[in-house]
């Protein structure tokens, strides 16, 4: 697996320059930064704000509002557990409790060893196979805690 590039102000400026010509460039810039670095570096916010003639608060407000943007690198595995009603009715609460307890983390946190990040999502659209989860973007249905934990611990 390729290592995520370390962010630098120069690389942020390159990303901003590649997207600044777009109408409403802030979201494409943030998505590109996250794709390259795996998160939005806090020290990149003033660079983006300056180039787009926005305040740092405006840029940070967008970063902090959208749940898909990260302010710190995610774990090697990202598990998204459905928290919608159908999944909860089919054991999703117990599943989430077991997985979070196993890794000793809360929602949106990364395990101390950097192995896994657990994020809540509100409906994956797999209600017929609830409870559902995404592991590194791959959908899984009728998930049971031991199987999900094993997938999350699997080293790519």
Report CA dihedral (49, 21, 3, 10) to the nearest 10 degrees: -60
Residue 154's pLDDT is what?
A: 83
β-bridge partners, 121: 82
- How many CA atoms lie within 13 Å of 136's alpha carbon, on the beta-carbon side? 11
Fold held by 77-153: Glutaredoxin (3.40.30)
What predicted TM-score, i.e. pTM, was given to this entire model?
0.80
Nearest to 49 by CA among 30, 68, 31, 71: 30
User: What is the predicted pLDDT for the residue at 156?
Assistant: 56
Residue 35's alpha-carbon distances to 7, 32, 58, 67, 148, in angstroms, are 11, 5, 21, 15, 25
Q: Residue ranges of the domains in the chain?
A: 9-65, 77-153
Coil, strand or helix at 133? strand
- pLDDT by residue for the chain (156 residues), tens only, comes to 456 678 999 999 999 999 999 999 999 999 999 999 999 999 999 999 999 999 999 999 999 999 889 999 999 999 999 999 999 999 999 999 999 999 999 999 999 999 999 999 999 999 999 999 999 999 999 999 999 999 998 865
Contacts of 119 by beta carbon, 8 Å cutoff, 6+ apart: 67, 78, 79, 80, 81, 107, 108
- Position 145 scores a pLDDT of 97
pLDDT of residue 1: 45
């Amino acid at each position: 697996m390729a290592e995520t590039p370390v962010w630098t102000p120069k690389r942020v400026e390159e990303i901003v320059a590649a997207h600044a010509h777009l109408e409403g460039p802030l979201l494409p810039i943030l998505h590109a930064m996250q794709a390259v670095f795996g998160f939005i570096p806090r020290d990149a916010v003033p660079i983006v704000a300056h180039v787009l003639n926005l305040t740092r608060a405006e840029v940070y407000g967008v970063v902090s509002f959208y749940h898909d943007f990260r302010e710190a690198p995610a774990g090697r595995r990202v598990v998204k557990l459905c928290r919608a009603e159908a999944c909860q009715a089919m054991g999703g609460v117990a599943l989430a409790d077991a997985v979070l307890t196993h890794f000793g983390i809360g929602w949106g946190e990364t395990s101390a060893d950097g192995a896994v990040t657990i994020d809540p999502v509100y409906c994956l659209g797999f209600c017929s196979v609830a409870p559902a989860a995404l592991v590194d973007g791959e959908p899984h249905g009728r998930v049971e805690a031991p199987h999900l934990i094993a997938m999350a611990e699997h080293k790519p």
